[in-house]
Amino acid sequence: MALPNTTEPAGADYASSPWIAPSERDLGFGSKVASETRRRLLNRDGTFNVRREGTGFWRSLSLYNWLLQITWPQFFLLVGATFVAVNLVFAAAFYVAGPAALAGPAPGGPFARAFFFSVETLGTIGYGNISPQTLGAHLLVTLEAFAGLLGLALITGILFARFSRPIPSIVFSDRALIAPYRGKTALMFRIANERSSQLIDLEARVVLALFDQADGHATRRFSVLSLERNRVALFPLSWTVVHPIEESSPLWGLTNDDLARRAAEFLVLLTGLDETFMQTVHARSSYRYDEIVWGARFSDIFDHDRSANDLSVNIARIHAFERTPLPR
């Protein structure tokens, strides 16, 4: 089969055409990225494959965003390490203030007394067994009490932000398939909600990026793929997103070698509403040409319990597929 005509006619109606209008062609990646790099645009985890350089460390650092993005074990480990480090700093300050700065029992020696006194001060515990005696020690207590108030407020705010921020956990199948579909073929991949929270009004958008020759050099072109269904009102189970490969499809007539030669990449953008938080959530991923399996179909993902008249989804089988011949 011949490759489809990829040249837009003059005065093309982009509202009904699969090709994206020139003003929206790069989807925000820029013309340089679209024409000069053949690396994938989106990583499988949804992050952009872009490295930022030329700015200082502190200007590029987004500490608040980083604290929201790290995992819970990393967050608590960081908070614990910071707590110990702050107390070590103040313990060293109390120790430097001299042996007369603190009065009270000293299990483990003077530095241990300073450290545990710092813990009591920072945590506003104050058992009263150890107390400051000099002006310098009282000034350090004042400074540490102020630092403790600020630290407690900051950690509480970040904890609340982490709990209150809806984070979708959409599982994408490892591979997209070229599978039989109603006597023809279709590109399809499968997604499922890994969490118990409910997503509603989930919308999918699939954009195909292909390299074409234009004016003697290769440039990336983007086209929106028409889907069998681009929106589901409810998402309690799994959803197989299907793009029928018909004559109007940019994939019509293309082979696996064509996709590899033109560095094809399928960008997947999902938007939905988290029912618990009533906030819009987003998820994205991509499939490159080498992550497409030709001549396969997805295996059954459901567990059928006829005796209990129950239906469940086995998320572990979302990636499973089986080989099947394609129609000619």
**Are residues 192 and 315 in contact, defined by beta-carbon separation less than 8 angstroms?**
yes
CA 17 – CA 6 distance, rounded (Å): 11
Confidence tier at 6 by pLDDT (50, 70, 90): very low
Whether residue 56 lies inside any domain: the answer is no
| Least reliable range by pLDDT among 20-34, 160-174, 307-321 | 20-34
Do 145 and 38 lie in one domain? The reply is no
pLDDT given for residue 56 in this prediction: 60
Do 142 and 261 lie in one domain? The reply is no
Whether residue 43 lies inside any domain: the answer is yes
pLDDT given for residue 31 in this prediction: 54
pLDDT given for residue 66 in this prediction: 86
Do 289 and 194 lie in one domain? The reply is yes
Do 233 and 143 lie in one domain? The reply is no
Whether residue 79 lies inside any domain: the answer is yes
Whether residue 5 lies inside any domain: the answer is no
Do 137 and 177 lie in one domain? The reply is no
Mean pLDDT, range 54-74, rounded to an integer: 77
Mean pLDDT, range 305-310, rounded to an integer: 65
User: What secondary structure letter does DSSP report for 83?
Assistant: H
Do 41 and 125 lie in one domain? The reply is no
Confidence tier at 215 by pLDDT (50, 70, 90): low
CA 99 – CA 132 distance, rounded (Å): 11
Domain limit, last residue, from 114, 129, 164 = 164
Do 182 and 318 lie in one domain? The reply is yes
**Better-scored residue on pLDDT, 266 or 39:** 266
**In the chain, pLDDT over 90 holds for what percent of residues?**
44
Domain limit, last residue, from 115, 136, 164 = 164
Whether residue 83 lies inside any domain: the answer is yes
Return the CATH number at 104: 1.10.287.70
Sign of CA dihedral 235, 264, 49, 219: negative
pLDDT given for residue 33 in this prediction: 57
Do 36 and 178 lie in one domain? The reply is yes
Do 208 and 172 lie in one domain? The reply is yes
Confidence tier at 235 by pLDDT (50, 70, 90): confident
Whether residue 13 lies inside any domain: the answer is no
Tell whether the model's pLDDT for residue 156 goes beyond 90: yes
Tell whether the model's pLDDT for residue 328 goes beyond 80: no
Whether residue 246 lies inside any domain: the answer is yes
pLDDT given for residue 308 in this prediction: 61
Return the CATH number at 200: 2.60.40.1400
Do 106 and 125 lie in one domain? The reply is yes
Q: Residue 89 is part of which domain span? A: 63-164
pTM (two decimals) = 0.71
Tell whether the model's pLDDT for residue 16 goes beyond 60: no
Interior angle at CA 278, CA 275 and CA 284, nearest 5 = 80
Do 45 and 84 lie in one domain? The reply is no
Do 121 and 179 lie in one domain? The reply is no
Mean pLDDT, range 241-246, rounded to an integer: 94
Confidence tier at 274 by pLDDT (50, 70, 90): confident
Q: Which SS3 state, helix, strand or coil, does residue 154 take? A: helix
Counting the structural domains of the chain, the total is 2
Domain limit, last residue, from 164, 192, 219 = 164
Cα distances (Å, whole numbers) of residue 180 to 62, 174, 177, 184, 327: 47, 19, 9, 6, 7
Torsional class of 164: left (φ above 0), alpha (ψ -120 to 50), beta (otherwise): alpha
Whether residue 58 lies inside any domain: the answer is no
